[in-house]
Structure 1
Amino acid sequence: MISIEKIQPEDNQAIAVLIREVLTEFGANKPGTVFTDPTTDDLYLLFQTPKAHYFIAKDNGVVVGGCGIYPTTGLPEECVELVKLYVSKSHRGIGLGKQLMEQSIHAAISEGYGELYLETLPELHIAVGLYEHLEFEYLDHPYGDSGHFACDLWMRKNLI
C-alpha cells in the first residue's frame, strides 16, 4: 500500500539515494543539480523552512518518491518553487508523480501562493511531460536563485 506523508528525519538517507539514482538513470547526475547539492542529504532539515513542504511516498514503508514546495530566494513574493519530484523506476506509470505534485500544489495554495515555478532538465523528459500535462508553461529565463545552474528548462503555473 502506498502512502504519502510529510518527510521525517528517518527518510533523509532513502530519499537522497533515490534522487541520485533517478538522476543517474537519466544521465543528469552532474554538478549544478540536486545531485551535488549538499542539502539533498538532509531534506528534512531543509524543509523546516517556513512555508516549505516535502512529501514522501512510501510503499509498505519503503521510500519510492518525493516532491515538495520551497520558497526559493529571489522568487516573487506570491511564487514558490516546486522541487525535487522523483519517483523510483519501479513506481512510475501509476500516477504517483501526479499525486505527489497535486499534494504539493495543494500545500502551495494553502500557504497562499498564487504561482508555482520549477526548474528541470530535458533529460528528465518523463517529468517534463507531466508538467506539460498539468499545464505548466515554459519560461525563457529562470526565476530566483536556486543555485542549480545546470537546469535549463524553466516553467510556471498560475494557481489562482
Structure 2
Amino acid sequence: MDTWKIREIKAEDNQQVKHLIQSVLVEMGVPKVGTAYEDKALDDMTAEYDGDRKTYFIVEENNKVIGGAGIAALKGTEEPICELQKMYFLPEARGRGIGTKMINTCMDFGRQHSFEKCYIETLPYMESARKLYHKSGFETVEKPVGDTGHYNCTVYMLRNL
C-alpha cells in the first residue's frame, strides 16, 4: 500500500514547496537565474495557482511534502495549451512511480479544463525527468512554445491530451 497521496496545495504547504523546489534545483546544478529558482511565485504557490484552469498538486507522505507539480494555461499563446510547471521530487520520492502518477493527474486536469496539448520545458542534463516525460507521451520540439520566462531551459516538449 502506498504511504503517499497526491492532493491540491494548501497555504500551509507553501514554505515546504518553495524549499523543495529550490533544493532540488540546487541538487541538479540548475542556474538560479532564468529558471524556476527565481520565480516570485515560489513565495506563495497557493495564491499563484488559485484561479480558473490552474492548480498545483503536491505529494504528501507522513505529513511531509515530497514532490509537486503545477498545471496552468501556457502564457504567450492563444492556443488551448497548458503547461506542466514546477514538477520536482525529493530523492525519497524518486523511482517509486510517483512521477508518472503526478503527470497523469495533471493531464487529467488539463483535459477536464479543455486544453488540447501540454507543454513543458526542462534542461538537457535532467535525464531522468526527460525519460519520464518521453514515457508519458511528451515529444521534443525544436523551439519554445509560448513565453515561460525560463530562458535557461533549453529542452522543449509537447504532447496531445
TM-score with structure 2 length normalisation? 0.95
In structure 2, the partner of 1:82 is 84
How big is the shift at 1:42? 1.1
Q: Specify the SS of the correspondent of 1:74.
A: coil
In structure 1, the partner of 2:93 is 91
In structure 2, the partner of 1:142 is 144
Determine which of 61, 64, 67 is the counterpart of 1:65. 67
Which amino acid is 1:63 matched to? V
1:45 is the counterpart of 2:47 = yes
Determine which of 121, 124, 127 is the counterpart of 1:122. 124
Residues 67-93 of structure 1 show CA distances to partners (whole Å, capped at 9, x for unaligned) of 121113213431110111111101100
State how 1:20-39 maps to structure 2 within 5 Å.
20-39=22-41
In structure 2, the partner of 1:157 is 159
1:55 is the counterpart of 2:33 = no
TM-score with structure 1 length normalisation? 0.95
How big is the shift at 1:41? 1.8
CA distance in 2, matches of 1:23, 1:55: 18
56-65 or 36-45: bigger deviation: 36-45
Which amino acid is 1:30 matched to? K
Give the % identical residues.
Answer: 35
CA contact (8 A) 1:68 1:101 kept: no
Determine which of 113, 133, 136 is the counterpart of 1:111. 113
56-65 or 70-79: bigger deviation: 70-79
Structure 2 unaligned regions, length at least 5: none
Structure 1 unaligned regions, length at least 5: none
Which amino acid is 1:145 matched to? D
**Hey, which bits of structure 1, 4+ residues long, moved more than 2 A?**
none
CA distance in 1, matches of 2:97, 2:78: 30
CA distance in 1, matches of 2:105, 2:5: 12
Which amino acid is 1:139 matched to? V
| Number of aligned residue pairs | 159
CA distance in 1, matches of 2:28, 2:56: 22
In structure 2, the partner of 1:16 is 18
Which amino acid is 1:45 matched to? A
Q: Specify the SS of the correspondent of 1:113.
A: coil
